[in-house]
């Protein structure tokens, strides 16, 4: 059974979906960019003994958007996660993150090692990076996007099927997987549907971390860590990720069938690896 939950933090109201027994192993799950808590709908029921709380990250799903004039800096998600754990009354917990959520989870594990028991990630380990020379260009783009937002015409879809088709085309997801995300990710607008996600999430980041900074965080991860990479996903194509992996003391990397969303498309394969790992917490 799944239940919906709202967590009031000092900063934002965060929505969540919850599976598993109240006395199960506490696991906080973090979805990917422009996804939502339903990202774990297919996987969570296959993790018996786990109390899995999947957040809608700020600006996604049913969670609050950041205040007007704010950007979505990657590092700002870190205190959101810590505040969600506090609201749940969890002093110690495991983390499960996909894509952006995997990047966030790895940073939470790095800066709060006394609280994170285990770190599991799917197709994400650390944030995207950018060359330092591009920093002024990125900031200028972000400022321009913020300035033009009030006049921006947001996409509207005549029916749910059109939104699902758009998501399939954008990410290569199957119709079934896209439907799971879209049903939680849209809202009625007039006679059609629009996205619940904050449009500012699509802006260029005003500030990226340089790779040496990210490597410093990787070296601070103390918890046992498991990373699942889709055999046709993003990470297997990025050679620089090997340097990140090498900095983590207790990391195991496994290749699973599927692309960037293997937990949605092939949940059984992911569960076979994740369940014993998380239950060992």
Question: Given a cut of 90, is residue 37 above it in pLDDT?
Answer: yes
CB contact at 8 A, 95 and 30:
yes
pLDDT average, residue stretch 68-80: 95
Q: How far apart are CA 208 and CA 205, in angstroms?
A: 6
Domain boundaries, the chain: 2-129+197-279
Element (H, E) at 87: helix 77-88
What pLDDT, on the 0 to 100 scale, is given for residue 281? 63
Which of 91, 89, 95 shows the shortest CA–CA distance to 55?
A: 95
CB contact at 8 A, 262 and 228:
yes
pLDDT average, residue stretch 29-33: 98
CA angle, corner 76, sides to 72 and 78, nearest 5? Answer: 135
pLDDT average, residue stretch 189-214: 95
Element (H, E) at 109: helix 100-111
Active-site choice (39, 63, 70, 99): 99
Q: Residue 39 catalytic?
A: no
Mean pLDDT score of the chain, rounded to an integer?
Answer: 96
Non-local (6+) Cβ contacts of 86 within 8 A are: 9
pLDDT average, residue stretch 46-61: 98
Cα Rg for the chain, rounded, in angstroms? 18
CB contact at 8 A, 59 and 80:
no
What pLDDT, on the 0 to 100 scale, is given for residue 1? 87
- Name the CATH code of domain 2-129+197-279 (choices 3.40.50.1820, 1.10.1380.10, 1.10.10.2840, 3.40.50.1980): 3.40.50.1820
Question: Tell me: the pLDDT tens digits for 238-278?
Answer: 999 999 999 999 999 999 999 999 999 999 999 999 999 99
What pLDDT, on the 0 to 100 scale, is given for residue 261? 97
């Amino acid at each position: 059974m799944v239940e919906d939950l709202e967590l009031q933090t000092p900063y934002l109201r965060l929505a969540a979906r919850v599976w598993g027994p109240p006395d199960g192993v506490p696991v906080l799950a973090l979805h990917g960019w422009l996804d939502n808590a339903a990202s774990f709908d297919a996987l969570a029921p296959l993790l018996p003994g786990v109390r899995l709380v999947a957040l809608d990250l700020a600006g996604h799903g049913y969670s609050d958007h950041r205040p007007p004039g704010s950007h979505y800096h990657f590092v700002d998600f870190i205190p959101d996660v810590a505040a969600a754990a506090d609201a749940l009354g969890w002093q110690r917990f495991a983390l499960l993150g996909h894509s952006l959520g995997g990047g966030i989870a790895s940073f939470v594990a790095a800066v709060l090692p006394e609280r994170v028991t285990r770190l599991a990630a799917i197709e994400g380990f650390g944030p995207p990076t950018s060359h330092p020379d591009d920093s002024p260009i990125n900031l200028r783009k972000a400022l321009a996007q913020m300035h033009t937002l009030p006049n921006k015409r947001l996409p509207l879809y005549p029916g749910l099927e059109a939104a699902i088709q758009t998501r399939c085309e954008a990410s290569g997801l199957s119709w079934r997987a896209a439907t799971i995300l879209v049903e939680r990710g849209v809202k009625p607008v007039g006679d059609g549907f629009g996205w619940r996600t904050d449009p500012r999430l699509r802006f260029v980041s005003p500030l990226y971390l340089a790779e040496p900074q990210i490597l410093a965080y990787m070296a601070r991860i103390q918890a046992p860590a498991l990373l699942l990479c889709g055999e046709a996903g993003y990470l297997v194509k990025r050679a620089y990720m090997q340097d990140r992996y090498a900095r983590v003391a207790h990391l195991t990397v496994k290749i699973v069938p599927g692309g960037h969303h293997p937990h949605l498309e092939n949940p059984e394969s992911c569960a076979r690896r994740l369940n014993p790992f998380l239950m060992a917490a």
